[in-house]
């Protein structure tokens, strides 16, 4: 016999809106805890940004292709779904940064913050830039408890050149953002952590690298066959758990005195797992102030172009995983990923696969281009950057408009305000990439939190 909270739990019905990784993990957690769950997804399939495409017989991810290995959440989910024997690490892990017609190795660094003052050797940073960065070692302690942008911190301590040719390309490759607006605290907790260690960023980066074990293991992991396999398994598990699945359903919400309706289904609890600007539309009718806060979160748009080339078309050291392209170089391309170096089994027949990213917060020029014009622009730019011609061949374009939430300097305060507004509505909660980190581990953690929030 069920009594007390367990009885309430057994009779609770929940709706999850959004079938990306955060919504799916939220639905899993709620169903495993005993809720009757409805999962609503606007598209024809689950996964959200976790998507793939077939280019000339090769299945290639168009969204995430790996996740941070130092967090445990995706590993735990993979284990729960029986995928732990399919975890893989990239075969190539060494990136280059483009500048002045050459590809430069990175100095030892933590998210682009150098752990050395020897910066001019590779040509990535000039002698002047290197001397400016070294001032960090003797500049006074300017730490405060106030948040600031990554750009303002790095420009002040290490100079413009280190920001523009090291830190910004690395961060831009992750979130397509603008370092001069990106919050140190909410957007780059690893840099915020450096800040607490020592007044000098170079010293803190060196301390961090010195503390690492000699063979720390790969920084990233993935799933053999693609991250989308996580979604397939999770959806199968949701079906086993009796979750009612609504695909091709753009959900809407109505509030009642004693609960909610989601697309005409009466429920006790609603978990919104959509991008923040969609969440803003969903709640506008009953929570205009909350909606206003949600719509203030800016999203960058990106595109991923894919080139499948015959074996040995490009002569690139196979240990190189990709090339980051600083904004200051003026290209539309932001990063080139040598997917077949990272995941050789993807190109089982030795063909070379490039995944080339375009788009950042400060560059929307490419968004007006038709797909074939975008491919030609990217082909020309990549040929220029690599100094080798990319011949015509199978290609693909995936556009991701408004896809990467930007953690601006006021982000933490905005999230506190959003949580305060949300607490006025029993049974309403949010999960997803815009809350506490946009990487897959953070999204899984966010989804998991849905089953813990009450009621
Ligand atoms: C190109 C690209 C590359 C990336 N690479 C990486 C990477 O390598 N590693 C990494 O860790 N992260 C990466 N990310 C980030 C990561 O993929 C995302 O932050 C994460 O997948 C977002 O998950 P989510 O569930 O919060 O949102 P989403 O995946 O956006 O899911 C939200 C879902 O809600 C649905 N929806 C919207 N409105 C409604 C409605 N009204 N009713 C029902 N459903 C609705 C949408 O269709 C969508 O399926 C990348 C992102 C992009 C765009």
pLDDT digits (tens, 9 = 90+) for 290-308: 999 999 999 999 999 999 9
**pLDDT tens digits for range 193-242:** 999 999 999 999 999 999 998 887 888 999 999 999 999 999 999 999 99
| Ligand 1 contacts CB of residue 359 (under 6 A) | no
Which residue from 21, 46, 49 has its CB within 8 A of the most atoms of ligand 1, so it is best to mutate?
A: 49
Tokens standing for residue 361: 């917060």
Q: Compute the distance from residue 268 Cα to the ligand 1 centre, in Å.
A: 25
Where would I find the H helices in 245-287?
A: 276-283
CA–centroid distance, 423 to ligand 1, in Å, is: 25
**Residue 262 CB–ligand 1 contact under 6 Å:** no
For ligand 1, whether the C-beta of 275 sits within 6 Å is: yes
* Mean pLDDT value across residues 312-338: 96
pLDDT tens readout for residues 237-251: 999 999 999 999 999
Ligand 1 center–CA 230 separation, angstroms: 14
Q: How much distance in Å is there from the Cα of 19 to the middle of ligand 1?
A: 9
Q: With CA atoms as reference, report the closest residue to 169 among 331, 5, 391.
A: 331
Task: Please check the confidence at residue 7 and state whether its pLDDT lies above 60.
Answer: no
Specify the pLDDT at position 431. Answer: 98
Q: Tell how far the Cα of 131 is from the centroid of ligand 1, in angstroms.
A: 41
- Enumerate long-range contacts of 362-370, CB under 8 Å, 24 or more apart: 362/178, 362/327, 363/327, 363/332, 364/301, 365/332, 366/303, 366/332, 367/301, 367/399, 367/401
Kindly indicate the confidence band of residue 174, based on its pLDDT and cuts at 50, 70 and 90: confident
Counting ligand 1 atoms within 8 A of each CB, the residue from 39, 48, 246, 300 with the most, and so the one to mutate, is 48
Mean of the per-residue pLDDT values for the chain?
94
Rounded Cα distance, 334 and 322, in Å: 11
> Omega into 455 within 30° of 0, i.e. cis?
yes
pLDDT exceeds 60 at position 8: no
With bands split at pLDDT 50, 70 and 90, how would you rate the model's confidence at 4? very low
313 by Cβ neighbours in 10 Å (0-12 / 13-18 / 19+) ranks as middle
Q: Residue 5 pLDDT more than 50?
A: no
Spatial CA neighbour of 303 closest among 404, 390, 228: 404
CA 203 to ligand 1 center in whole angstroms: 36
Strand pairing partners for 270?
15, 428
For ligand 1, atom 29, which residue shows the shortest CA distance? 48
- Tens digits of per-residue pLDDT, 121-142? 878 999 999 999 999 999 999 9
Name the residue of 16, 17, 18, 171 whose CB sits within 8 Å of the most ligand 1 atoms, as the mutation to test its pocket.
Answer: 18
64 with 242: CB under 8 angstroms?
no
Cα 215 to middle of ligand 1, angstroms: 32
Query: Is the Cα torsion angle 302, 308, 312, 314 positive or negative in sign?
Result: negative
Instruction: Say whether pLDDT at 1 is over 60.
Output: no
Indicate the pLDDT class of residue 346, thresholds 50, 70 and 90: confident
CA distances from 423 to 13, 287, 426, 429 (A): 19, 11, 7, 8
CB neighbours of 187 closer than 8 A, spacing ≥ 6? 150, 171, 175, 177, 406, 407, 408, 411
Query: Cα(96) to centroid of ligand 1, in Å?
Result: 27
Q: List, for residues 376-388, the tens digit of each pLDDT value.
A: 999 999 999 999 9
Q: Looking at residue 3, what is its pLDDT? A: 42
C-alpha of 196 from chain center: 25
Residue 220's Cβ-count burial label (10 Å; 0-12, 13-18, 19+) is: middle
pLDDT at 454 exceeding the cut of 80: no
| CA of residue 278 to ligand 1 center, whole Å | 12
Portion of the chain with pLDDT greater than 90, in percent: 89
C-alpha–C-alpha distance, residues 238 and 232, integer Å: 10
**Looking at residue 120, what is its pLDDT?**
84
Place of tokens 């919050």: 183
Does the pLDDT of residue 187 top 90, yes or no?
A: yes
Domains detected in the chain = 4-50+225-297+407-449 (3.50.50.60), 106-211 (1.10.3110.10), 299-405 (3.90.660.20)
**What's the pLDDT score for residue 190?**
93
Query: What does the pLDDT look like over 22-73, one tens digit per residue?
Result: 999 999 999 999 999 999 999 999 999 999 999 999 999 999 999 999 999 9
Pocket of ligand 1 contains residue 283 by CB under 6 Å: no
Pocket residue to mutate for ligand 1, from 274, 294, 342, most atoms within 8 A of Cβ: 274
User: Does any ligand 1 atom lie closer than 6 A to the CB of residue 263?
Assistant: no
Q: Is 63 in the pocket of ligand 1 (CB under 6 A)?
A: yes
SS3 336: strand
Number of the ligand 1 atom closest to the C-alpha atom of 250: 42
* Cβ 278 under 6 angstroms from ligand 1: yes
Protein residue with least CA distance to atom 13, ligand 1: 64
| Confidence band, pLDDT 50/70/90 cuts, at residue 453 | low
Whole-number pLDDT of residue 345:
84
Average pLDDT, integer, range 319-341:
96
Secondary structure (3-state) at 117: coil
**pLDDT at residue 10 in the model:** 56
Of 175, 158, 116, the residue nearest 407 (C-alpha):
175
Neighbouring C-beta atoms of residue 79, cutoff 10 Å = 13
Confirm or reject: Cβ of 447 under 6 Å from ligand 1: no
Average pLDDT over residues 405-420: 97
Q: How far is ligand 1, taken at its centre, from the CA of residue 444, in Å? A: 11
Our measurement of the distance from residue 226's CA atom to the centroid of its chain's CA atoms, rounded to an integer in Å, reads 16
**Is the pLDDT confidence value at 424 over 70?**
yes
Residue 121: both structure tokens together: 């050797």
Going from the Cα of 368 to the center of ligand 1, the distance in angstroms, rounded, reads 23
Report whether pLDDT(2) > 50.
no
What pTM, to 2 d.p., does this model score?
0.96
Sorted by sequence, the CB contacts under 8 Å of residue 171 that are 6+ apart come out as 111, 112, 150, 177, 179, 182, 187, 188
pLDDT at residue 253 greater than cutoff 50: yes
> What spacing in Å lies between the alpha carbon of 401 and ligand 1's midpoint?
11
* Spatial contact of 442 and 433, defined as CB atoms under 8 Å apart: yes
- Alpha carbon distance 441, 399 (integer Å): 23
């Amino acid at each position: 016999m069920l009594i007390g909270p367990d009885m309430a739990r057994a009779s609770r019905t929940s709706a999850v809106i959004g079938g990306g990784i955060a919504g799916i993990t939220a639905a899993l957690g709620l169903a495993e805890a005993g809720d009757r769950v409805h999962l609503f997804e606007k598209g024809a399939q689950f996964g959200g940004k976790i998507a793939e495409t077939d280019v000339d017989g090769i299945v290639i991810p168009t969204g995430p292709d790996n996740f941070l290995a130092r967090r445990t959440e995706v590993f735990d989910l993979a284990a729960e779904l029986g995928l732990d024997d399919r975890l893989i690490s990239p075969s190539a892990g060494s990136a280059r940064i483009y500048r002045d017609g050459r590809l430069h190795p990175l100095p030892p660094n933590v998210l682009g913050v150098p752990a050395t003052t020897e910066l001019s050797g590779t040509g990535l940073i000039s002698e002047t830039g290197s001397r400016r960065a070294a001032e960090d070692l003797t500049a006074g302690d300017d730490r405060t408890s106030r948040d600031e942008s990554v750009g303002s911190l790095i420009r002040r301590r290490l100079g413009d050149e280190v920001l523009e040719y090291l830190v910004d390309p690395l961060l831009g490759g992750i979130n397509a953002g603008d370092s001069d607006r990106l919050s140190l605290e909410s957007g780059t907790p690893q840099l915020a952590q450096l800040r607490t260690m020592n007044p000098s960023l170079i010293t803190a980066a060196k301390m961090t690298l010195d503390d690492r074990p000699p063979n720390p293991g790969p920084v990233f992991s993935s799933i053999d066959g693609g991250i989308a396999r996580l979604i397939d398994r999770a959806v199968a598990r949701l079906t086993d758990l009796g979750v009612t699945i609504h695909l091709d359903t753009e959900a809407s919400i109505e509030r009642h005195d004693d609960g909610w309706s989601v697309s005409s289904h009466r429920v006790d609890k609603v978990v919104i797992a959509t991008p923040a600007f969609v969440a803003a539309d969903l709640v506008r009718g009953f929570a205009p102030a909350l909606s206003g806060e949600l719509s203030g979160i800016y999203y960058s748009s990106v595109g991923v172009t894919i080139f499948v080339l015959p074996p040995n078309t490009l002569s690139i050291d196979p240990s190189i995983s990709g090339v980051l392209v600083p904004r200051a170089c003026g290209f539309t391309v932001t990063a080139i990923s040598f997917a077949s170096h990272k995941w050789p089994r993807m190109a089982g027949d030795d063909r070379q696969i490039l995944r080339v990213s375009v788009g950042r917060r400060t560059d929307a020029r490419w968004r007006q281009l038709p797909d074939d014009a975008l491919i030609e622009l990217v082909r020309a730019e990549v040929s220029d950057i690599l100094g080798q011609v990319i011949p015509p061949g199978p290609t693909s374009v995936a556009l991701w408009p408004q896809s990467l939430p930007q953690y601006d300097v006021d982000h933490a305060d905005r999230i506190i305000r959003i949580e305060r507004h949300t607490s006025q509505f029993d049974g309403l909660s949010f999960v997803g990439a815009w809350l506490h980190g946009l990487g897959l581990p953070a999204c899984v953690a966010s989804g998991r939190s849905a089953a813990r929030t009450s009621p």
